[in-house]
Amino acid sequence: MTLRLSPGPGPDAVRQLFAPGADALLRLALLTGAACLAALPVVGAGLVRSSYVTGVGVAPAQPVPFSHKHHAGELKIDCRYCHTTVETQATAGIPPTQTCMTCHSQIWSGSDMLEPVRASYAKDQPLVWTRLNKLPGYVYYNHAVHVTNGIGCSTCHGSVTDMQLTYRANAFEMSFCLDCHRNPETYVRPKDQILTMTWSPPANQATLGPDLVRQYHIRGGERLTECGICHR
Amino acid sequence: MSGTVTPLPARAGLLGKGEDFASIGRAVTGASSRIPSRAWWIAFAGAGGLLGVFAVTLAWLLINGVGIWHNNNPVVWALDIVAYDWWIGIACGALLTSAILRLTGASWRSGIDRIAETTAILAAASAALYPIIHLGRPWLFYWTLPYPNTLALWPQFRSPLVWDAIDIISFLGVCLGLWYVGLLPDFATLRDRAFEAALAEADERGRTRRLTLMKAQTYGILALGWRGASTHWERWLMATRTLSALALVLVVSLQTGASVMLAGSVLPGWHDTLLPVSFLAASLLSGVGVTAALTVLVRRALHLDALITERHIALMAHLMLGLGLASAYCYATEIFSGLLHGDAYDRAVLVRRLSGSHAWAFWIIVVFALLPVHLFWFAAFRRSGRVVALVGLAAAIGSFGDHFMLLIVTLSHDFLPSSAHPYSMGVWGLATLAGTIGLFLALLLLALRTLPMVSIAETRRVAESHRDGRPRGERAPVPAESAQARLWGVSAEFDDAGALAAAAGALKERDFGARIETYGPVPMRRVAESLGRPAGILPLLALGAALAGGLAFMGLCLYASGVDYVFDVGGRPRFSWPAFLVPSVSFGTLCGGLTALLALLVQNRLPRLNHPAFAIPGFTRASEDRFFLAFEAAGPRFNPARIEQALARLPQGRPLTIRRVPL
């Protein structure tokens, strides 16, 4: 915003406080300010949903590069072989080193990659995995209640059998939970499909879903969306 | 022929003797330099100290939570909400005063409307912090606003927490809009005086100091290129009136909304149907009280005795007396109706208010708010600035007692003896209050230093322009007048709006191939009428936006609470539209206010910092005491010589100078 100001009559005697360009600058500044103001919530809303914040799809470094794809997918080891308490307790359970060693004391027993597992076994100290799926302390969640009432592993954890390195498949935000709690009939599966990683709602889910909801005695809608269901 | 073209009635005594347009402008623009610097710095240090207390309190609050205020289970709303209601009451009262005086065309608003609006903004700023800091987790304050969140939830639109958030935002929006629109021409005056100082400096020393120039340019940007064109003034009048009307609606909605909110609970003592009215009366009394005290302060500190006269002070005193009587009537009726047809619980609340452990709150109302105003039955007290200021401050203190009594005494004891719990004010609650007072004072002191605390434009409307007949702003002829350069147009300078109106009326029909525009320091109703006033579309736009915004917000509430996120709150109906009225009305006024502001700027083609009209010789005086008639070249028939001839041959009201304006 330069000023054209000359002390007396002359070729440049027009006395204006602002040069003609000042208006363009002011408008630019005002528009930039308005654009920033409008962009702030958009950028903020985008950021909190991005995997940068939620960690979805990001496989963190683990003490051992364990592959769910190899073990559960190709070798078809049952989920419950390691996550033993998923059907009976609130937590699914992280397997102790002994579970790994049931096989790896016999196969790949000299592998460098498995050195931390053997060391853990020898020292009797558990492996420290980096946790992927976290819920806030004020959220009560029970695995057993979900997997015994028609909610399969993959609904929350994604197709784990396709994960070479394990990553978070969904951001466990409140809207994620409420989506199903408000409409359980769209996600509920028959009992024999709980462990199927590739399950997707069949064509007749619209009729099957409500039947299953009745079978499982799920009181959808009003009961499942009460605050105290999760926040106890 | 007087200088004002829009004469306001009953102007006697509203202005010192011999004051004219120029002296009013000088009195206000030079006011900040007349502040006793030492006293200002001492006051500012005091306010800064209170701000320091505020910072410490907020830090302690963040560490420990709202328990430091001694809030407990029955008294869930303690000093935090008391102070919030008190501040917002003052803000509402002050804004309502300014709005009503403008809408009723009271000419004595001249000295006080800016002070009232400033009071409203500063009090609202002090209030605005409370709804945020009284949350358990203040950093999540945005949860009270509807925004696309990852919780799949809506805010609870039945909750006063959401009302407060929307109300405060709307209040600040409308209030700032009204204040800023009023300031536009005043900023232009400040800009032109600062620019004249810069030009004088350039003439004297050969160059201008950077600071002088920056001051002029800062005011220039704030004025958004206001140049006082008569059409601009007409729209300015429409915009200030529209914003005042919206402010009126907003304040009524906000204060009655607060009482409705209390009535929504089951507690005894909050259900009198007179409550909305007594809220408004009490809020007006405290707002007028603080405004009166600040008016006296501004008058004395800035030596503005000529612009804020004894009559202004006396009228404020009259107003306080009237409001004090109205307030007393409301309290008396409440007590009377409690005794007459209240149940046992109502009477118990009454007894607790009058004689319980916090009975001092009630007696503060009586002693500070209801009794002192009766001094104003006597003219001697009405004329004394000191008495008016003290009574005004006392009214504000009394209002604090009112909010304390209404919230804390009522909350501390409900129907069950087992749920009664004593409450005592803690030091931190009082420290928070002191901190917000510090914020108010610090901002006020800064405003005294930098802003025109008396509206120049409004004051000039009750003034006469002083005809001196001397052409001003004279400099050597510009090249355009000697050489055949490209011209923007021809301008004529008048020292009187009447002469300008006569000239514009005589020449408007002639075809000069030019567009006629007039410029002046005050609204020029007669000129505007003779040249064709702009269509009054601005109020309609604002009304449309207010209705659309209000309906949209109501629709949002209904959809969110009745369709998308149905949530049973104590068995209240799904579509509980009465609960959504308060935030909807507030949001509607915000939409209307912003639309009025935008429409004013867009229709006036502002901001326009650089405009050929600014090149009219002596044009800086258009914001002081000169009127300009400009013929802006438009088309091939433009012939400057013919226009100059016609101007020189005007039958009456000849211009002081006729100049050619280069492009």
Task: Please check whether residues A108 and A144 belong to one and the same domain.
Answer: no
Alpha-helical runs (H) found in B302-426? 310-341, 344-355, 359-364, 379-383, 385-404, 410-411
Structural contact between residues B452 and B28, judged by C-beta atoms closer than 8 angstroms = yes
Task: State residue B34's pLDDT score.
Answer: 84
What whole-number distance in Å separates Cα of residue B137 and Cα of residue A127? 37
User: C-alpha distances in angstroms, A142 versus A81, A89, A232?
Assistant: 19, 7, 12
Structure tokens at A110: 């000299």
- Does the distance separating the beta carbons of B217 and A3 come in below 8 Å? yes
Question: Judging by beta carbons within 10 Å of its beta carbon (0-12, 13-18, 19+), is residue B482 exposed, middle or buried?
Answer: exposed
Task: Please check whether residues A30 and A78 belong to one and the same domain.
Answer: no
What whole-number distance in Å separates Cα of residue A168 and Cα of residue A160? 10
* B575: in domain: no
* B193: in domain: no
What whole-number distance in Å separates Cα of residue B600 and Cα of residue B238? 9
Structure tokens at A150: 């028609």
* A219: in domain: yes
- The residue type of B503 is A
What whole-number distance in Å separates Cα of residue B503 and Cα of residue B629? 8
Q: In a mutagenesis test of the A interface, which of B137, B142, B150 is the best target, namely the one with the most A β-carbons within 10 Å?
A: B150
**The pTM is what?**
0.91
Give the residues across from A56 on adjacent strands: A168
* B348: in domain: yes
| Nearest CA distance, A156 vs chain B (angstrom) | 16
- The residue type of B229 is A
Structure tokens at A164: 């070479």
| Nearest CA distance, A45 vs chain B (angstrom) | 7
Task: Please check whether residues A122 and A135 belong to one and the same domain.
Answer: no
Task: Please check whether residues A85 and A189 belong to one and the same domain.
Answer: yes
Question: Based on the structure, what is the number of domains in chain B?
Answer: 1
> What single string gives the DSSP state of each residue in B195-212?
HHHHHHHHHHHSS--HHH
Task: For residue B405, give its domain range.
Answer: 268-410
Cα dihedral A174, B551, B590, B258, rounded to 10, equals -80
Task: Please check whether residues A149 and A74 belong to one and the same domain.
Answer: yes
* B451: in domain: no
* A120: in domain: yes
Residues in chain B where the model's pLDDT stays below 70: 1-11, 464-484
* B512: in domain: no
Give the other-Cβ count within 10 Å of B362's Cβ: 23
Nearest alpha-carbon partner for B262 in B249, B248, B274, B250: B274
Structure tokens at B47: 């306010």
> What single string gives the DSSP state of each residue in chain A?
---B--SSSSTT---BSS-THHHHHHHHHHHHHHHHHHHHHHHHHHHHHSHHHH-BT-----SS---HIIIIIIS---HHHHSTTTTTSSS--PPPHHHHHHHHTTSSTT-GGGHHHHHHHHHT----PPP-----TT----HHHHHTTT--HHHHH--GGG-SS--B-S---HHHHHHHHH-GGGT---GGGTT-TT----TTHHHHHHHHHHHTT--TTTTTTSHHHH--
Task: For residue A176, give its domain range.
Answer: 68-94+131-230
Structure tokens at B387: 């008495």
* A16: in domain: no
Task: State residue B4's pLDDT score.
Answer: 42
Mean pLDDT, residues A99-121: 93
| Phi-psi group of A67: left, alpha or beta (phi > 0 → left; psi -120 to 50 → alpha; rest → beta) | beta
Structure tokens at A216: 């499982």
Structural contact between residues A191 and A153, judged by C-beta atoms closer than 8 angstroms = no
What whole-number distance in Å separates Cα of residue B581 and Cα of residue A118? 68
CA torsion through residues B284, B285, B286, B288, sign: positive
Structural contact between residues B263 and B279, judged by C-beta atoms closer than 8 angstroms = no
* A159: in domain: yes
What whole-number distance in Å separates Cα of residue B211 and Cα of residue B228? 26
Nearest beta carbon to residue A7 from set B152, B202, B479 = B202
> Taking CA atoms, what residue in A is nearest to B617?
A15
* A3: in domain: no
Structural contact between residues A143 and A180, judged by C-beta atoms closer than 8 angstroms = no
Task: Please check whether residues A78 and A171 belong to one and the same domain.
Answer: yes
Q: In a mutagenesis test of the A interface, which of B145, B610, B620, B659 is the best target, namely the one with the most A β-carbons within 10 Å?
A: B610
What whole-number distance in Å separates Cα of residue B622 and Cα of residue B227? 8
Question: Based on the structure, what is the number of domains in chain A?
Answer: 3
| Nearest CA distance, B206 vs chain A (angstrom) | 6
pLDDT at position A11 over 80 = no
Mean pLDDT, residues A42-47: 92
* B475: in domain: no
* B310: in domain: yes
Nearest beta carbon to residue A49 from set B150, B153, B477 = B150
Structure tokens at B195: 């620019």
- Does the distance separating the beta carbons of B199 and A174 come in below 8 Å? no
Q: Which chain B residues are Cβ-neighbours of A6 within 8 angstroms?
A: 202
A228 in reach of chain B (CB within 8 A): no
pLDDT at position A18 over 80 = yes
What whole-number distance in Å separates Cα of residue B199 and Cα of residue B206? 10
> What single string gives the DSSP state of each residue in B45-105?
HHHHHHHHHHHHHHHHHHHH-GGGGT--SS--S-HHHHHHHHHHHHHHHHHHHHHHHHHTT
pLDDT at position A7 over 70 = no
ipTM entry: 0.82
Task: Please check whether residues A120 and A210 belong to one and the same domain.
Answer: no
Structure tokens at B292: 């009166």
* B399: in domain: yes
Task: Please check whether residues A169 and A214 belong to one and the same domain.
Answer: yes
Structure tokens at A118: 């053997």
Task: State residue A2's pLDDT score.
Answer: 43
Task: State residue A118's pLDDT score.
Answer: 95
Structure tokens at B283: 């809020």
* A7: in domain: no
What whole-number distance in Å separates Cα of residue B390 and Cα of residue B382? 12
| Helix/strand/coil percentages in chain B, nearest 5 | 65, 5, 30
Please tell me the total number of residues recorded for chain A in this structure: 232
* B54 alpha carbon, distance to own chain's centre: 26
The string of pLDDT tens digits covering residues B481-513 is 655 678 899 999 998 888 899 999 888 888 888
pLDDT at position A47 over 90 = yes
A171 in reach of chain B (CB within 8 A): yes
Give the other-Cβ count within 10 Å of B449's Cβ: 15
Nearest beta carbon to residue B151 from set A1, A15, A175 = A175
Task: State residue B482's pLDDT score.
Answer: 59
* B181 alpha carbon, distance to own chain's centre: 9
| Nearest CA distance, B205 vs chain A (angstrom) | 9
Task: Please check whether residues A142 and A161 belong to one and the same domain.
Answer: yes
Task: State residue B11's pLDDT score.
Answer: 65
The string of pLDDT tens digits covering residues B7-65 is 444 467 888 887 888 889 889 988 888 888 899 999 999 999 999 999 999 999 999 99
Sheet of B627-633, strand order: B514-519, B627-633, B487-494, B657-662
Task: Please check whether residues A102 and A44 belong to one and the same domain.
Answer: no
- Which residues between 3 and 32 in chain A have a beta carbon less than 8 angstroms from any beta carbon of chain B? 3, 5-9, 11, 13-23, 26-27, 30
Nearest alpha-carbon partner for B331 in B360, B370, B382: B370
* A99: in domain: yes
Nearest beta carbon to residue A9 from set B208, B217, B475 = B475
What whole-number distance in Å separates Cα of residue B246 and Cα of residue B240? 10
- Does the distance separating the beta carbons of A17 and B191 come in below 8 Å? yes
Task: Please check whether residues A118 and A25 belong to one and the same domain.
Answer: no
How big is the CA angle at B104 (ends B101 and B108), to the nearest 5 degrees? Answer: 45
Task: Please check whether residues A72 and A179 belong to one and the same domain.
Answer: yes
| Nearest CA distance, B518 vs chain A (angstrom) | 19
What whole-number distance in Å separates Cα of residue A115 and Cα of residue A109? 9
